[in-house]
Amino acid sequence: MEILKRLVREEEGQGMVEYGLIIALVAIAVITALTAVGEEVGTVFDDIVKGLKGD
């Protein structure tokens, strides 16, 4: 937390905007990756259920 306080005090507005953009891009990448993996995991579980039912 102290690091964030120091960044706010020491960095100019432009630097803070850059940090915000980096955080936003990382968040978008994480959400995209989790969405793709989530669909694959759902497909695997569906296949398992079908296999157990004998479909």
pLDDT digits (tens, 9 = 90+) for 13-43: 677 888 999 999 999 999 998 888 888 888 8
Cα–Cα distance, 23 to 35 (Å, whole number) = 18
pTM, to two decimals: 0.51
In the chain the first and final C-alpha atoms are separated, in Å, by 54
Contacts of 7 (CB under 8 A, 6+ apart): 15, 16, 19
- Rounded to the nearest 5°, which phi and psi values hold at 12? -80, 170
Write the single-letter amino acid at 51: G
pLDDT value, residue 54: 83
Number of domains in the chain: 1
Cα–Cα distance, 26 to 23 (Å, whole number) = 5
The domain in which residue 48 lies consists of: 1-54
pLDDT value, residue 35: 87
